[in-house]
A and B are shown apart, each in its own frame.
Chain A
């Protein structure tokens, strides 16, 4: 079983739709959870960062973590064509601190928002 599983999609939605992106993981040591957005031919950029279980909201984006189910989600409200990108989940046991920092990434979900 892979440490982090993510449906690669592709996912195609109309503009204005609510998008749900998900990852599951197997390593119970993971405590820090991130979502990165990667545009075509660009590097990943950090979108959301959460610690342990719970929700975090930032504008149109909401990240959810359910550690009991080992399941994380990213919701995008009122999706826009500019949201079209690959979304990567990432996790670590030690957060950003020193030598404990080691991100394990999902393979990414390709999202297209159609005008």
Chain B
């Protein structure tokens, strides 16, 4: 079984540029989560989708961040404009109803 697939695995870009992170959840999973992990703050939930609909985006840090899920097999997290403090590892996770979350291997983002 293919797990949660994230791309790119690494991204280095300059401050002010637009960054787009991509996620393909496990087939059949109806919930999708975006997390950010830093040394200072640990793993934080940014946004949660259920059946492609955003349910809880209270963790999205500010308007520079946006997330979409146009269909059940694809989601994006976009940062525009990016800032150095956005540097972190971003994880996508998916789950079926009443089941644990399965995480991808993350995108390591560095903003210079």
Cβ–Cβ contact A43 & B31, under 8 A: no
Cβ–Cβ contact A43 & B42, under 8 A: no
Distance to closest chain B CB from A98 (angstroms): 7
| Binary CB contact string for chain A from 77 to 101 against chain B (1 if under 8 A, 0 otherwise) | 0000000000010000001111101
Cβ–Cβ contact B42 & A106, under 8 A: yes
Distance to closest chain B CB from A42 (angstroms): 5
Partner of B98, one of A44, A97, A105, A106: A97
The total of chain B residues at the interface (CB under 8 A) is 25
Q: Does A34 contact B (CB under 8 A)?
A: yes
Cβ–Cβ contact A102 & B105, under 8 A: no
Chain B positions within 8 Å of A34 at CB level: 100
Interface secondary structure of A, over-half rule: loop
Cβ–Cβ contact A88 & B43, under 8 A: yes
Cβ–Cβ contact B105 & A41, under 8 A: yes
Cβ–Cβ contact B45 & A43, under 8 A: no
Cβ–Cβ contact A99 & B55, under 8 A: yes
Q: Does B104 contact A (CB under 8 A)?
A: yes
The total of chain A residues at the interface (CB under 8 A) is 21
Q: Does B71 contact A (CB under 8 A)?
A: no
Cβ–Cβ contact A105 & B43, under 8 A: yes
Cβ–Cβ contact B56 & A102, under 8 A: yes
Cβ–Cβ contact B31 & A101, under 8 A: yes
Q: Does A66 contact B (CB under 8 A)?
A: no
Q: How many angstroms from the CA of A9 to the CA of B63 in the assembled complex?
A: 35
Cβ–Cβ contact A102 & B48, under 8 A: yes
Instruction: Count chain A CB atoms within 10 A of each CB in B99, B100, B104, B108 and give the residue with the most.
Output: B100
Cβ–Cβ contact B100 & A96, under 8 A: yes
Cβ–Cβ contact B42 & A44, under 8 A: no
* Closest partner residue, chain B, to A96 (CB atom): B98
CB-CB contacts below 8 Å: B56-109 with A: 56, 91, 93, 95, 97-106, 108
Interface residues of A (CB under 8 A from B): 34, 41-46, 49, 88, 95-99, 101-103, 105-108
